[in-house]
Amino acid sequence: MTLHPILAALRKHKAGVVLIALQIALTLAIVCNAVFIIGQRIERVNRPTGLVENDLFLVTQQWVGAPSGDEPGGVAKLDTMQMEDLAALRNLPDVASVAPINTMPLLNSSWNGSMALKPGQELRQGQARTTYYFGDEQMLSTLGLRLVAGRGFTAGDVQHRGFRDTTSPAIVIVTKELADKLFPQGGAVGKTVYIDGSSSPTAIVGVVERLQVPSTGSWVNGFTWNATLVPTRLNANFSRYVVRAKPGRLDAAMRAVAPALYKVNPMRVLDDDSVRSFAEIRDKAYRADRGMAILMGVVCLILLCVTAAGIVGLTSFWVGQRHRQIGVRRALGARKVDILRYFQIENLLIAGAGVVIGVLLAVGLNLWLMSHYEMTRIPLPYVLTGVLAMLAIGQAAVFVPARRASNVPPVEATRAA
Amino acid sequence: MFGYYLDLALRSLKRNKALTALMVLAIALGIGASMTTLTVLHVLSGDPLPGRSGKLFYPQLDPQDMDGYKPQDEPPTQVGWIDGIALLHAGRARHQALMTGGAVPIQPMQSAIDPFFEDARYTSADFFPMFEVPFLYGHGWNAADDEASARVAVLSRKLNDKLFGGKDSTGQTLRMDDVAFRIVGVLDSWRPTPHFYDLHTGSYSAEEGVFVPLTTATDLKFARNGSTDCWGKGMSDDMKTATCTWLQFWVQLDTPAEAVAYKQFLLNYSQEQKALGRFQRPANVRLRNVMDWLDYNKVVPSDVHLQVWLAFGFLLVCLVNTVGLMLAKFLRRSAELGVRRALGASRRSLFAQLLVEAGAVGLVGGAGGLLLALLGLWLVRRQPSDYAALAHLDLPMLLATFASAVLATLLAGLLPAWRACLIPPALQLKSN
C-alpha cells in the first residue's frame, strides 16, 4: 500500500489531524516527565538507610523535674538515670539489644557539623559536612550497621557528657562515603581529623558501609551519606533509645517499654509518639514523596485514557464520514484487511508526527523543570518508552473503529449519495 | 432564541450520548484536577494576617565572624540572645517581640489525663498585641512579667478544652516540667497560615498549645524546638552567651517612613557592634515584611507548584481533546446545519447555536469538575501533612470553578463552531 492516498486524505482533515497529533504530543510530554518524577521518588523512597530496619524501634522520653545538666553533678545524675533506663530495657524478654542515641535516619532532627584534616578550620567550612550520631558500644549492633574497616566501639571507649558540651570526642567511626571524601586514597582507619573547627584531634577507628543522615530535606543533598558515630552518651533531661526486638517480637517489645520505664522512674513523660517503630518513622519521612508519586501516576493514567478516548472518538467520526468511500474501495476489490491497515497506518502517521513533536516538548518541559525545580535530565529510555507507549496506545485506540470500517460492505458504494 | 438553541443543543447532545459523556468527563477531570491543586496553592500561599502583614517586619543582622564570608551572602535567618535582647530593649518599633519554639511536658492536675508534651512558644509580651491574637478569656502578660521571669502562661483554646473542659481557666495553676504556672489568658481559635512567625518549626504547623515568657523559659531551661545555627566557639551551656542564632524577632512598623528609619537603626546598630568588635562582618541587614519573608523562604512546597503545573497540563490535553471531539460532532451535523442555513439562518445564529451547545457541555462539565474538586480536596484533607486540614474550597474558588469550566469549553468550541459555520449551504444539501 502506498502512503500517497492516506496523505491526500489527511490533507482534507487538517484540523482533526493537527488536534490528534497535538494531543498525543502534549500527553507524551507530560507523561514522560511525570513518570520520570515518579521514578525519582520511588528511587528516593527505596534507598536503603544502612540500617537493618526490621524489628527496630525508637523510644523518646523526657524526665520531669530532672536535674539540669548545667548544675554541678547534674550531668552525672542524668547519666545514672539514663543507665538505669538502658539496664531496664536490656532486661526485657523480647529485646535483643538497646543503645542510647540522639537521633535516627529519616527522623529529620539532626546535629550537623563538619570534619577537616587540619585543626581550627571553621565550623561550616571543613572538608566535609557530616551529621553526628551519639551512642554507646551497642549502637552499631543495634542499628545493624556493617563495619567494613577498623573496629567497633568497646565499652571502654564510651564517654558521657552534657547535651550542650561540644568537647571533641577522642575517637569516631565514619561512613565509607565520608571516609572516601576525606581520604580519597583510602586507609581512613587510624587517621586524625578535626571536628567542627576544633583544635583537638579525633581518631577514626572504624568505617561502616552505609548510614543515612536523619534529614530527608534537599538541604542535605550534598552529604546524605556522611554520617559520623560518636561513642558518647549525651545527657539531658530527655533521652532516646534505639531498641532491636528479638525477631518477630517487635509489637510485644514495644508494648513492654512504657511499663518498664515507668517502673524505673515514674517522673517522666511518655506519650503516644514516644515509642515508634522504624517502619512508622520511614513511613512518615517519605509520605509526601509517596503521595506525589501516586498523584502523578493517577493523572498519567487518566491522561492516557482521555487521549485514547479522543482518538477513538475522532477516528469513529472519520469512519462514519467515509462510509461511502470505503464501500467504493471494497467494491473495487480492496480486502477487509486493506481497509483495516489503511486506518492503522493513518493513525501511525498521525501518532508518529505527534510523538516527534512530543519528544521535543518532553525535553523542553524537562529543561524548564530543571531550571525551576530540583530535577535532573530525563534519561533517554524514559522518552523512548514513552514514544513506544504512545504509538501502541494509538494503535489500540484505532483498532475498534478501524475494524468497524473494515466491516463496511461493498454494497455501500451503490447507496445514494 | 436562546431557549430554542438550548433545546437544539440538548437534542444534539442526547443523540450521541457516548461522545457527550466523553467531552463532559474530560472537562470535569481537567477542571477538577486544576481546581484541587489551585485551591491547595491558594491556601498555602495565602496571607497569614490579612490587613496586618504589611506592617509586620522581620529584622535580620549578620553577627557571624569572618570565616567563610562571602559579600553576597544573606544574613542568618534568626538572631542570637544578645542582639535579640538589645533590639527588644531598644524599643524602636511600635511593638516588638523576641521568641522561639519549644515543647514542654504538661502535668495535668486531673489524674485521668497522663502527662503529655505540648508545643510551646516562648515569647516576650508584645506577641499578643502585635499579631492581634484573639483572647477568649483573660489577656497576655506585660513587659514587667518578662523582666521578672514571671511564671505565667497563656493557653490555646484547644489545650484549655482538653485540660479544663473549655471553662475559663484564668487564675488556675498549670504544672509544666514540675514548675507551677499561673494561667493568665486563653486564646480563641487562631491559626495563622503559613506559620509565618517561626518557619523553623514547620511552615504550616498549627499554633502552639501554650505560651510562656521567653525569659522564664530560658531561666528554666525549657526544651527548644527549631533550628540553632552556630559559628566560632559555637554552642555552650548557656545559650545566652553562645555564638548561635536561635531566636525570631518581629517588629511592627506602621508607616513606610518608620520602616526606613528602622532599617537605618539596624544598620547603625550593626556598625556600632562592629566598632565595638562584637561583629566582624560589614553591616548586612534585611527588613522584610511578612509576605516578602514567606517568599524569601519559599514556604510553599515545590511539589505543590509542580502539582498545579501538572493539573494545568492535564486540563490543556483535556481541552485539546474536547476541541477535536466537538469538531467531529459539529462537522458530522453538516447536513442539518446546511438545512438551517438554506432556510435562512445566518452564520452568526448558527455560530451562537453551536456555542450554546458548547456552553451546555461546559456547564455540566463544570458541575462534574466541582464534584471532582470536592472529592480531590477531601482526599487532600485525608493526607497527614501539616497543611492538609486547611484545604477547603471557598466561594470565590467555587465560582471560579464554574466560570473557568464554561469559559474553557466555549474557547474549545470556537474553532469547531467557526469551521462548521463556513460550510456553504447548497453543497450540504446536494451531497447528502
CA distance B119 to chain A (A): 13
Buried b (16+ CB within 10 A) or exposed e, B211-222: bbbbbbbbebbb
B244 bridge partner residues: B230
CB contact under 8 A, B314 and A307: no
- Measured between CA atoms, the residue of chain A closest to residue B17 is A313
CA pair distance B6, B8, nearest whole angstrom? 5
CA pair distance A192, A202, nearest whole angstrom? 5
B236-281, pLDDT tens digit by residue?
A: 667 788 888 999 999 999 999 999 999 999 999 999 998 888 888 8
Q: Say if residues B165 and B210 touch (Cβ distance below 8 Å).
A: no
Regions of chain A short of the pLDDT cut 50:
123
Chain A residue numbers touching B321 (CB-CB < 8 A): 23, 306-307, 309-310
Mean pLDDT of chain B: 87
* Cell 490579612, located at residue: B50
CA pair distance B262, B290, nearest whole angstrom? 16
Residue A261 dihedral angles phi and psi, to the nearest 5°: -70, -40
* Angle subtended by helix axes A287-321 and A278-285, to nearest 10: 50
CA pair distance A233, A211, nearest whole angstrom? 19
Helix intervals (H) in B201-346? 214-219, 256-276, 290-296, 302-332, 334-342
Q: Quick one: DSSP state of residue A106?
A: T
Torsion of CA B155, B156, B161, B164, to 10 degrees: 0
CA pair distance A81, A87, nearest whole angstrom? 10
**Amino acid in the structure at residue B431:** S
CA pair distance A103, A132, nearest whole angstrom? 9
CA pair distance A299, B334, nearest whole angstrom? 35
A391 touching B, CB under 8 A? no
B98-135, pLDDT tens digit by residue?
A: 999 998 888 888 767 778 888 999 999 999 999 999 99
A210-253, pLDDT tens digit by residue?
A: 999 998 887 788 889 999 999 999 998 889 999 999 999 999 99
Which three three-digit cell numbers place residue A85? 533506663
The percentage of chain B sitting over the pLDDT mark of 70, rounded to a whole number, equals: 96
In this predicted structure, the answer to whether residue B353 has a pLDDT above a threshold of 80 is yes
The mean pLDDT of B65-88, rounded to a whole number, is 87
Radius of gyration of chain B (CA): 31
Which three three-digit cell numbers place residue B111? 489524674
Q: What is the ipTM of this complex?
A: 0.81
Q: Say if residues B315 and B404 touch (Cβ distance below 8 Å).
A: no
User: Beta strand A128-134 with A227-230: parallel, antiparallel or unpaired?
Assistant: parallel
First and final C-alpha spacing in chain B: 28
* Cell 475522532, located at residue: A314
Q: From the candidates B34, B118, B238, B314, which should be mutated to test the interface with A, based on the most A CB atoms within 10 A? A: B314
Q: Quick one: DSSP state of residue B84?
A: H
- Band (B432; pLDDT cuts 50, 70, 90): very low
CA pair distance A71, A265, nearest whole angstrom? 21
Nearest to B325 among A37, A296, A310 (CB): A310
Domains of chain B, residue spans:
2-45+301-431, 53-296
Closest among A106, A99, A61 to A216, alpha carbons compared = A106
Q: Which residues 183-242 of chain A have a CB within 8 Å of chain B?
A: 196-197, 237-238
CB contact under 8 A, A19 and B323: yes
B275-303, pLDDT tens digit by residue?
A: 888 888 888 899 999 999 999 988 888 88
Nearest to A27 among B302, B317, B419 (CB): B317
- pLDDT number for residue A1: 57
Residue B63 CA to its chain's centroid (Å): 31
